[in-house]
Amino acid sequence: MIVNQIDSTTNFEEGVVITIDKPYKWTSFDVIRKVQAMLRYKLGYKKIKVGHAGTLDPLATGLLIVCIGKATKKIESLQSEEKEYMANVCFGATTPCFDLEKPIDAEYPFEHITEEGIREIIPQFLGEQDQVAPLFSAKLVDGIRAYELAREGSDLELKPHRITIHEMKLLQYNAPVADFLVRCSKGTYIRSLARDLGLALNSGAHLTGLRRTTSGHFRVEDAYSMEKIEKIFDELKQTRIRAV
């Protein structure tokens, strides 16, 4: 399996993994469609499988593992890897989706929250536990995405699922926003963690920023920007034209 090694000899059908730093407000599927389009229109791959190993919310940035060709067979194993995030949590207000994708729906006191108080509750979030995903999420419910049911106004209650938070550090607290490092298992919703932090501190909370920094042995520092990937594909296209 080739990882982040793209040149004129690369056979994408045989299996290539590209790590991409997903831009803000792009969906994970936006990235997949863009890569598919570049493979088709720049390099002539009319039918080739492209998928990703772990969804990132539109308002999140960071590491997205893109699998091409035969590498798509590795998606399930890559998805199961431990992940690390940098998260910004704002106390004192909630939103229906637990992040900034929808407007604030309720406000709560936060003046009582201190750095010491936050550090005191962190241990209760460590280890294996049940977590309820946000209604506005890609979680499947009888084959339908939860966000589709939520948009239809369905009276939906999601069942808890098992996750593990291996590490959680408070990096700084400038009221009402706290910055965390979180290392966790597949299936962990950091938006839900933000909600639960607010509840544990007798307030409300929502996520104001999220960046995935690692997944397994992959690191965002080694990932391509979308601009860089497009430039590489343009250069490959020109190389192939000159070779004809």
Catalytic residues: 57
Distances in whole angstroms, Cα of residue 143 to Cα of each of 139, 148, 149, 152, 219: 9, 11, 11, 15, 32
Phi, psi angles (nearest 5°) of residue 145: -65, 135
**Whole-number Å distance between alpha carbons of 44 and 195:** 46
Q: Which amino acid is at 230?
A: E
DSSP string for residues in 176-233:
TEEEEEEEE-TT--HHHHHHHHHHHTTS-EEEEEEEEEEETTEEGGGPBPHHHHHHHH
Give the whole-angstrom CA distance, residue 225 versus residue 23: 8
Return the amino acid letter for 138.
A
Q: Which of 48, 46, 65, 44 is nearest to 243 (CA)?
A: 44
Residues 6+ apart with CB under 8 A from 79: 53, 54, 186
Helix (H, G, I), strand (E, B) or coil at 128: strand
Both ends of the chain: CA-CA distance in Å?
A: 28
For residues 167 and 127, what is the distance between their CA atoms, to the nearest angstrom? 8
